[in-house]
Amino acid sequence: MKQQNIYILAIESSCDDTSAAVLCNNKVLSNVVATQKVHEEYGGVVPELASRAHQQNIVPVVHQALLKANIVKKQLDAIAFTRGPGLLGSLLVGTSFAKSLALGLQIPLIEVNHMQAHILAHFIDEGQKMPEFPFLALTISGGHTQIVLVKNHFEMEILGETLDDAVGEAFDKSAKLLGLPYPGGPLVDKNAQKGNEKAFIFPKPKVDGLNFSFSGLKTSILYFLQRNTAQDPAFITSHINDICASIQFTILEILMDKLKKASESTGIKQIAIGGGVAANSGIRQRLSDAEKELGWKTFIPKFEYCTDNAAMIGIVGYLKYLNDDFAKQSIAAKARYVI
């Protein structure tokens, strides 16, 4: 018989957020995220700067997470950490920290796949309805775009993924072309709400199966802007809302086409969304329309569990703890780590 309350410290450092969380079973006691500002002026994440910032942040972030949870290290039952996928230098910081702490405290170590964690974030208990197996998960962020068939907590199959840019990158790169600051996704969303989504037409890529491609869209936006600003230098400022609405419309069409295809081919109508782009007002509207029109049941976790965070690593840690699925001290970070 397992003990009643399992306390897990979870650590996430796969990209540009240093995060630590403490969970008691499937409930979050604390979830601290230090977002690295250093990348803003470069218009994207600089890997070397990210790992240096993780090194600076990790000790205070873990300390904060324990304080907020009102837990002392001695009470911890296990340490869960993101093994991959992600930037190797960033992953190394969280991995070495987790390994040393687990060794020092003489408690088990649990390795977590970041993509699996985005999906299992739906099982963090916030009193909400949780998806039932099997369901489809759409993970959309600055680093990922995947449609996954989730058979149970640990059996997942990637049905489709991006062949080039992630959807968040498509938002951010389009925003950059419009002169908007990084990350531009939320600003595109904000402007789009005031614009006409049919004002301009951008081509949708032809990609087989359930895979995605977003790099062509960026190029067509670039040419579109070059053409129009050559005739009217103020074109972008005077049409910003319509341009944003049309870009967002195209991106959402690409996502929804594939999601509908995945639902039709599997017969599954439970759709769980995760990743930072789940904050987009347009995708939320489309999903709510699909509930009415297609009979889907859709799930979106609380926003803090959508973006990169350690609470989602902690829930996987808890589920693996129950399965006695522990990692050895010799485990290494894995930049490419398929679900």
Give residues in contact with ligand KG4 (CB under 6 A).
15, 141-143, 168, 171-172, 183, 185-186, 189, 275-277, 279-280, 307-308
Least distance to ligand KG4, CB of residue 168, Å? 3
Q: What is the CA radius of gyration of the chain?
A: 21
Q: Write each residue from 267 to 306 as x if it is in contact with Zn ion (CB under 5 A), else as -, in one continuous string.
A: ----------------------------------------
Q: Is residue 12 near Zn ion by the rule CB under 5 A?
A: no
Alpha-carbon torsion (156, 162, 165, 166), positive or negative:
negative
Least distance to ligand KG4, CB of residue 231, Å? 29
Among ligand KG4, Zn ion, none, residue 49 binds (CB under 5-8 Å by kind): none
Residue closer to ligand KG4 (CB basis): 21 or 109: 21
Residue closer to ligand KG4 (CB basis): 160 or 275: 275
Among Zn ion, ligand KG4, none, residue 183 binds (CB under 5-8 Å by kind): ligand KG4
Residue closer to Zn ion (CB basis): 141 or 145: 141
Residue closer to ligand KG4 (CB basis): 85 or 160: 85
Chain centroid to CA 149: 17
Least distance to Zn ion, CB of residue 14, Å? 7
Among ligand KG4, Zn ion, none, residue 185 binds (CB under 5-8 Å by kind): ligand KG4
310 and 28 Cβ atoms separated by less than 8 Å? no
The length of the chain in residues reads 339
Q: How many other β-carbons are positioned within 10 Å of the β-carbon of residue 294? A: 15
Among Zn ion, ligand KG4, none, residue 51 binds (CB under 5-8 Å by kind): none
Among Zn ion, ligand KG4, none, residue 172 binds (CB under 5-8 Å by kind): ligand KG4
Beta-carbon contacts of residue 33 (< 8 Å; ≥ 6 apart): 17, 18, 19, 61, 304, 307, 308, 309, 310
Cα(338)–Cα(317) distance, integer angstroms? 18
Cα(223)–Cα(319) distance, integer angstroms? 48
Residue closer to ligand KG4 (CB basis): 82 or 263: 82
Among ligand KG4, Zn ion, none, residue 142 binds (CB under 5-8 Å by kind): ligand KG4
Beta-carbon contacts of residue 294 (< 8 Å; ≥ 6 apart): 260, 263, 269
Q: How far is CA 127 from CA 29, 152, 212, 274, in A?
A: 14, 20, 34, 18
Least distance to ligand KG4, CB of residue 26, Å? 21
Beta-carbon contacts of residue 44 (< 8 Å; ≥ 6 apart): 172, 182
Residue closer to Zn ion (CB basis): 16 or 308: 308
301 and 274 Cβ atoms separated by less than 8 Å? yes
Q: Is residue 308 near Zn ion by the rule CB under 5 A?
A: yes
Cα(150)–Cα(165) distance, integer angstroms? 23
Among Zn ion, ligand KG4, none, residue 276 binds (CB under 5-8 Å by kind): ligand KG4
Residue closer to ligand KG4 (CB basis): 90 or 141: 141
